[in-house]
Structure 1
């Protein structure tokens, strides 16, 4: 059995059986491709069925020389999932990564923006250009709804339920959720749709997509990253920020103002509450206020 043949089967499994997005499938595939490349470079002749724990240990040891602990952990996790699939399909009797320990890593706290910094970024946008209105609407939507960048670029006109005060979002694993949207952000979206987007020569495939480039096609993830990076430089913000920073800021600011963690979990589309708990990186004074406000024996 050849590596690339089984990798194609694995990708099909991730898409059909697991319902993963293209980005997630690409991420899992990269881990396996790194192993394949290592085997070819070192002329190690093994198949997905015959590869041993020792082979993979040596690969991880070699990879560890050029990647950090977090990347090592991600790589091991990706390979473990791949070999779990082989066991599940009865190609193998055991998973050769079972005895490989991931490096200990601390839980990385996400960077956030203050309200002032968010205003600085938005104020740095040149609204005299057509894409300026679009970019302002993008930042407002990211922050007010806590969206992932993939969720933002795939947002559809048919996903807007403004009369009810919600937007429909297709998240990880094609899971649908409804996220509340404030009236101010609704106004920005409607203004962009009615004054900028309406004048674009929209590609037939993207007639229902909200945010488009000047050629009437869907924006890429890279383009959103570039827009935010350039605005950060223009606004004089030194933090390393990305579209995900707005999502982190959304959750943190809600939590700081007393929002329920379970409600934030639903809005973010986290499957597990433990993922949302990372936003509990708040100062002690806030926690003290929560205790004084809500404890029955304050």
Structure 2
């Protein structure tokens, strides 16, 4: 394969051990891979796959990185979503052309992931002075016509896979990395079980957890600021409280926070300060990239790749409804001013609503018989 005057043979040439050098396109890509993956094999493998595929495309149109225009990026993304026959690996696995590198068309989320990676490549090479301009910035992220808030939620198998991966990583972490994984696990649990926004997470304190009487029981709640600085309260699930206790025990604290414990709920890694919004985004993006790379199911991997801090909120809402919670209780938990907003999530629980309709129909018929 040739880019400009540089010959490359296969993916192995993209090596994280390569020397930082930018006298040609391949050396420039190696430099970016080394700087961007931080010696993480998971991230390296993912970025290298995208780089190799992009290099194949550039070779097919006989240009190098410095000649790429916005239209070239659009054409490339279109190929990923609607690959022509000569880009697909044949059923007999007999590769006859250099462009046969795809087993099937990529999903919208995978195409967007490819765009993000290539955009990062151009940004890095711009900062390094190797390129001038970022043609990817001229292109738009692919968006489904039916994309909605509910569609940004994870399907249940994807959430289960991601959460199981987080738990396993935490349990297998070395003593050196244990603190980071314990914090990240608790952070994911808080986001999923409460549906809180990123801004609320970074503002929450340990004493945001408090007990309140409901009937004859003392129930744990979590209070945190929402949009407009209004204070919002949700009931803390048993699963969330288990995660809280586990996290606090690791920190050497009592199981439950005291009313005077006004410390950040989520701390910055190795700092005695609250985590920043950017810190949350970075931590989650690192986990997402690794989890997707470790996933053997392409569909589930694509689902995991779309996770952002706000994905947890959408997932919380749809999973509540799937579990049988009412729209009214879900509206209250999410803090929506209008139930119309909450109703959007019901689009993904049509089967549940249909079953409830059947139940109501049976109930109505029984009432007629009773009369």
TM-score (norm 2): 0.47
**Deviation string, structure 1 residues 7-58 (Cα, Å, up to 9, x no partner):** xxxxxxxxxxxxxxxxxxxxxxxxxxxxxxxxxxxxxxxxxxxxxxxxxxxx
| Partners of 1:119 and 1:107 in 2: CA distance | 23
What is the correspondence of 1:1-298 to structure 2 with a 5 Å cutoff? Answer: 108-109=148-149, 110-125=151-166, 126-127=169-170, 128=173, 129-162=178-211, 163-196=218-251, 208-213=263-268, 214-236=270-292, 237-239=301-303, 240-282=306-348, 284-295=350-361, 296-297=363-364
**Deviation string, structure 1 residues 99-124 (Cα, Å, up to 9, x no partner):** xxxxxx86724311133322332333
Gaps of 5+ in 1: 1-65, 69-104, 199-205
**Deviation string, structure 1 residues 254-286 (Cα, Å, up to 9, x no partner):** 112221111101100111111111101125432
| Partners of 1:207 and 1:260 in 2: CA distance | 34
CA separation of 1:282/1:152 partners in 2, compared to 1, >3 Å: closer, same or farther?
A: same
| Partners of 1:282 and 1:186 in 2: CA distance | 28
Answer yes or no: is the 8 Å Cα contact 1:193–1:210 preserved in 2: no
| Partners of 1:246 and 1:196 in 2: CA distance | 25
Gaps of 5+ in 2: 1-137, 212-217, 254-260, 293-300, 366-371
Partner of 1:51: none
Following TM superposition, by how much is the alpha carbon of 1:207 offset from its aligned partner in structure 2, in angstroms? Answer: 5.0
Answer yes or no: is the 8 Å Cα contact 2:195–2:313 preserved in 1: yes
- SS at structure 1 position matched to 2:246: helix
| Partners of 1:156 and 1:264 in 2: CA distance | 23
| Partners of 2:353 and 2:246 in 1: CA distance | 40
TM-score (norm 1): 0.58
CA separation of 1:238/1:244 partners in 2, compared to 1, >3 Å: closer, same or farther?
A: same
